Amino acid sequence: MFDILVGTLLPSHAAIPVIKQLNPKGFECYEIYFDDEENIANIAEYSKEVMDAVEGRKISAIAVYGNTMNDKAVYNRVETLIKNAHLFGCNTVCLSAGADPTKNVPDNIPLFKKTFEPLAKLAEEHGVKIGFENCGYGWHGNSDNIAFCPSAWELMFDAVPSDALGLEWEPAHQLCALVDPIPQLRKWAKKVVHVHGKDATVAWDVVREYGTHGIVPYAWHRTPGFGDSNWSDIFTILLQAGFKGSVDIEGYHDPVHYDDMEWTAQITSLEYLKRARGGVEFFEGPVEYRGYQGKRK
């Protein structure tokens, strides 16, 4: 079997009817982010409907994205997801770390510690991994998520040194910051617990002519296969690091393929990502001869 599944990210309010339409198209898993209070409040009943809809496919992660450090309601939702992840047959909860936007990243670390020490302990008790989405900006303040760069991750994981805490990584945010995502992933792959399939395109000619503070946009988020990243390299690094999990396409950002082209682009991306991970269809045999490299696992 493949070590990495490929799926897509869906909002909870639309997930069930959408999943039923996507199952025949080859999506292997789904990440559900909770964008409505009703389904969190009725999570046990909702989980049964989801598990019926997936028809044996995996729920790779459940998520809530908000300011966990600075919004008690978001914190409470995170607690609920950690306690109920098992109902979805998954052990990964993804979120934004959050921030006090009036403070810089180092000055946010005491609040991070206060917020995530109990959440990490709760996650450990329930066998759950927490993945911090790597989006955001603002080292010196004005940030609503401090988990956006390696310098912040070092402070965070040092403040709360729990194996339950990890990264929900994607290359798009690095590229838009003009950072090469490949050496970053090579260094941090062991902390990755979930991957968002979102890429970016950087218009280097615009950067050279106008810089990054001009009036002309210089970078765009893209559906994988249409952006700058070589996802074969990304999968290779993840597999070499022993990652077993999923890459879920985070659509709804591409400035070219959207609206009536959204799902055509996602299905194209689905096949692209499957090929990049090593194959579309798993074929085990013939077992009589597989070369000289020995056992893979």
Per-residue pLDDT of 232-289, as tens digits, reads 999 999 999 999 999 999 999 999 999 999 999 999 999 999 999 999 999 988 988 8
Predicted TM-score of the model (pTM):
0.96
Contact predicate 8/275, CB 8 Å: no
Residue 187 predicted with pLDDT over 90: yes
Q: Percent of the chain at pLDDT above 70?
A: 100
Averaged pLDDT, 91-113: 98
Distance CA 71, CA 172 (A): 26
Average pLDDT over residues 133-157: 96
Which helix (H) or strand (E) covers residue 264, if one does?
helix 262-277
Q: How far apart are CA 59 and CA 103, in angstroms?
A: 36
Quick one: pLDDT at residue 64?
A: 98
Q: Is the pLDDT of residue 130 over 90?
A: yes
C-alpha of 192 from chain center: 9
Tell me the pLDDT band of 150, cut-offs 50, 70 and 90: very high
pLDDT, position 287: 87
